[in-house]
Amino acid sequence: EPEVTQTPSHQVTQMGQEVILRCVPISNHLYFYWYRQILGQKVEFLVSFYNNEISEKSEIFDDQFSVERPDGSNFTLKIRSTKLEDSAMYFCASSVGAGYGYTFGSGTRLTVV
């Protein structure tokens, strides 16, 4: 079964540093997403990406965040200057259609110290 692949599985970074989280979505999917889950809490939407541009973003996705699809396969989330409260599990997802048929990756656990 096709998978969404995320790397790294765990990243520890110093506060104020930039991090890039990487994802390889399912190849025939057209919509790409980033979600985050703070430990023990619900999954929260960050951003959706379609046709090489952001289609929707949440209030969490401020100027510190950016997304990019640098080539035909990768989808990245960059956090410019990490804060302690950015510590969370970050999930990449992709879907065939807008808002349905999602497949999530296994996540990147980001720890900001």
7/58 with CB nearer other proteins: 58
How far, in Å, CA of 78 to CA of 19, rounded?
Answer: 6
Residue 107 Cβ vs other proteins, minimum distance, rounded to whole Å: 5
95 in contact with other proteins (CB under 8 A): yes
91 in contact with other proteins (CB under 8 A): yes
69 in contact with other proteins (CB under 8 A): no
CA dihedral 96, 99, 100, 104 (to 10 degrees): 80
Find out whether 112 and 11 touch, Cβ atoms under 8 Å: no
> Between residue 27 and residue 46, which ones bind other proteins under the rule CB under 8 A?
31, 33, 35, 41-45
